[in-house]
Chains A and B, each alone.
Chain A
Amino acid sequence: MPADFQKNMIFPQNADKTTEIEMQDLLRIENLSVVATDKKRTTQIVSEVSFTVRNGETMGIIGESGCGKSITAMSILKLTEPNIHIDKGHIYWGNICLSELSESRLRKICGKEIGMIFQEPMTSLNPVFTIKQQLSAPIRLHLGLSKPDIHQRCIRLMEDVGIKDPEKTLKSYPHELSGGMCQRVAIAIAISCDPQLLIADEPTTALDVTIQAQILGILKNLIRTNQMALLIISHDMGVIASLSENITVMYGGEIVEQNTRDNIIKQSSHPYTKKLIRSAEELYDGADELTLVRGNVPRPGENRTGCRFAPRCDLSTQRCHAEHPPLVQKERGKGTVRCWNCR
């Protein structure tokens, strides 16, 4: 555990305590609710989301656009727009409550202990600085290495993410690189200070399938060799399935099902998860007919009574439309599910 981690703790801990924390949850989100405010009203975007990521564990969040998965990830590091803020709930990083941390202390964790990769590789890099400037900034800031050491580390990082000609790439600007190369650089920046947790928000959505396969391979290797925990967010079941051990399914701003990957893929309970898996399988395996799910994703702030998925669900009963189901432990087997009809 890095020395800074201890400094940042609210209560000074002794060495024994530290090892204990390592065994505990790395990131713990408790009952997180996020709202967006404008002049007229406040809209709830994420409601009562809880999950934990343990050391070296991988967690995937899947859901359609507008279901609040990115907002959840962004609010961990307070990267959301100024009008979007946490209403209720807490985010714990070890013993530190991230949601109550001051800006300056958050900056010490952000980028050092938690790294983040964004969706658009071309826009997440600064166009007016060279790759080397951007890659060495977090290393200089957080680790305080000397110039030759920084250079060496840069080269090593570039090799880690599979860039063939590191010296040349370091001198170039983002516009000179392809999308796949930019995403590799973004990954290199995110892991530059050996973070314990890497948050990847749709890391391959903007990329081609062949490049996507390479990036997924790189991420997989990195989390194994560096023993990082990974929180990956995507709308692509294939991407989530290839990287994560545990899967959280979100719909309409809340968690509808949580389970291990194999359970989700083979024996999911919630009708929405089933539909997602089925469409993914049909597309990947080449079915002649696709099953259709009628309707659209609910917009934030609309229809607060009853189950969010009820209007689109084939199994919905009157109770589904009237009462909002809680997220409960499944009676048979592991995992939690939010549905009146399957427990």
Chain B
Amino acid sequence: MLELQMREQNSHPKPPLLLEIKNICKSFVSKNSVIKAVDRVSFNIHKGETYALVGESGCGKTTTGRMILRLLDVDKGQILFEGIPISGLTKRQLRKKRHTIQIIFQNPYGSLNPRMKISTLLAEAIVSRAEKPSHIRAEAERLLQSVGLGKENLDKYPHEFSGGQRQRICIARAIATHPKLIICDEPVSALDLLVQAQILCLLQKLQKEYGFSYLFISHDLSVVRYMSDRIGVMYNGRIVEEGTRDEIFKNPQHSYTRLLFASLPTLKNADAFAAAHIQKDTETCQKVLRQGKEHSNQKVEVSPTHYLLADQ
């Protein structure tokens, strides 16, 4: 397996594309207003890569994730998964395809059915792989162990676990179907700092083991820096800047990306932090808001992998 990966990396500089997103749009219509949740968003995810979408709540990052899973349909644009347009699939075709994309939700307290034992929860996902019934329990044990939980937990109910342990169960359930892409929708924002570190390390370990790609959705830049290979910064439904992790962190270009960095709390100059940012913050925020409305479709390239949207 490792050799194969090595050979792949040697022959192609970049692993093959897994997911291509081309100019997708989604608006939500209510009685008297139309909200553009996602507006002309395009990005690619390669095999084995972690792509992160960063932005504030309401910027459309979760909506993007849901459209990839086809929990929501796109208004315009195309989503290609392994070259096949997802939006064109019929119900039956989609059913066959769906186990290749999995999702880990933000709130582990809400995403596990409280009336199901852990074994049942995992079995549901394993069955989709057409495993023999006799194998299911053994497979569930193996999955639990790979996320760092003992097999004695199989007959427990979700309420018996802490938040971190529940998130581990969610991860076990996500990898049970052998997916190629896992969408992590704020997987650690409901957890404590020390538990966050545990879960992030687990996610990385599993990626090395199974080789799937992550779409990592988060508002927390520090978490994103640890996890991702490439980053897309979203604002008002658009990706305003995209680049590799180092490019975004060392050389942020867009004013909104800079604002995100400025808002990160630090331990070193804690005193200077809040006081200095209150005026600057609101000023930049308004400036950014104005710019956000006037974003053109023009991309300014900083490097081949790094671009930002130009202001008009």
Which listed residue (B223, B259, B260, B273) contacts A283, Cβ 8 A?
B223
Alpha-carbon gap, A177 to B193, bound state (A): 29
A289-314 interface (Cβ within 8 A of B): 290-293, 296-297, 299
Chain A hits for B57, CB < 8 A: 179, 208
Say whether A326 faces chain B, with CB atoms less than 8 Å apart: no
Give the segment of B4-12, B195-203, B300-308 that binds chain A: B195-203
Alpha-carbon gap, A66 to B263, bound state (A): 27
Q: How far is the CB of A176 from chain B (nearest CB, A)?
A: 13
Alpha-carbon gap, A279 to B198, bound state (A): 11
Flag if B56 contacts A208 (CB, 8 Å). Answer: yes
Alpha-carbon gap, A192 to B278, bound state (A): 21
Flag if B267 contacts A277 (CB, 8 Å). Answer: yes
Q: Which single residue of chain B is at the shortest CB-CB distance from A239?
A: B265
Chain B hits for A65, CB < 8 A: 163, 192
Flag if B263 contacts A212 (CB, 8 Å). Answer: yes
Give a binary string over A240-263; 1 marks a CB under 8 Å from any B CB, 0 the rest: 011100000000000000000100
Give a binary string over A259-278; 1 marks a CB under 8 Å from any B CB, 0 the rest: 00100010000000001110
Flag if A286 contacts B259 (CB, 8 Å). Answer: no
Chain A hits for B264, CB < 8 A: 209, 238, 284
Which listed residue (B197, B219, B222) contacts A284, Cβ 8 A?
B222
Chain A hits for B193, CB < 8 A: 64, 235-237, 276, 279-280, 283
Alpha-carbon gap, A282 to B193, bound state (A): 11
Say whether A166 faces chain B, with CB atoms less than 8 Å apart: no
Chain B hits for A282, CB < 8 A: 197
Say whether B270 faces chain A, with CB atoms less than 8 Å apart: yes
Give a binary string over B147-181; 1 marks a CB under 8 Å from any A CB, 0 the rest: 00000000000000011110000000000000000
Q: A64-B195, A237-B193, A284-B264 are in contact. Are A217 and B281 (CB under 8 A)?
A: yes
Say whether B226 faces chain A, with CB atoms less than 8 Å apart: yes
Flag if A297 contacts B281 (CB, 8 Å). Answer: no
Q: A211-B56, A217-B275, A277-B267 are in contact. Are A283 and B226 (CB under 8 A)?
A: yes
Say whether A14 faces chain B, with CB atoms less than 8 Å apart: no
Flag if B219 contacts A208 (CB, 8 Å). Answer: yes
Interface size of B by CB at 8 A reads 42
Flag if A290 contacts B163 (CB, 8 Å). Answer: no
Q: How far is the CB of A7 from chain B (nearest CB, A)?
A: 36
Say whether B43 faces chain A, with CB atoms less than 8 Å apart: no
Chain A hits for B263, CB < 8 A: 209-210, 212-213
Size band of the interface chain A makes with B: 35 or more
Say whether A123 faces chain B, with CB atoms less than 8 Å apart: no
B5-41 interface (Cβ within 8 A of A): none
Chain B hits for A329, CB < 8 A: none
Say whether B282 faces chain A, with CB atoms less than 8 Å apart: yes
Chain B hits for A290, CB < 8 A: 197, 200-201, 226
Alpha-carbon gap, A283 to B262, bound state (A): 15
Flag if B222 contacts A241 (CB, 8 Å). Answer: no
Flag if A284 contacts B266 (CB, 8 Å). Answer: yes
Alpha-carbon gap, A118 to B259, bound state (A): 26
**Which of B56, B197, B262 has the most chain A CB within a 10 Å cutoff?**
B197
Which listed residue (B198, B260, B271, B274) contacts A217, Cβ 8 A?
B274
Chain B hits for A216, CB < 8 A: 265, 273-274
Alpha-carbon gap, A210 to B267, bound state (A): 17
Say whether A30 faces chain B, with CB atoms less than 8 Å apart: no
**Which of A241, A283, A291 has the most chain B CB within a 10 Å cutoff?**
A283
The 10 closest A-B pairs by CB, nearest first: A238-B265, A217-B278, A241-B270, A213-B263, A283-B222, A208-B56, A64-B192, A216-B274, A209-B263, A290-B197
A213-B278, A241-B266 are known contacts; what are 4 more A-B pairs with Cβ within 8 Å? A217-B277, A242-B265, A265-B270, A296-B165
What are 10 A-B contacts with C-beta separation under 8 Å?
A: A208-B56, A209-B220, A217-B274, A220-B278, A261-B270, A275-B194, A279-B193, A283-B196, A283-B223, A292-B201
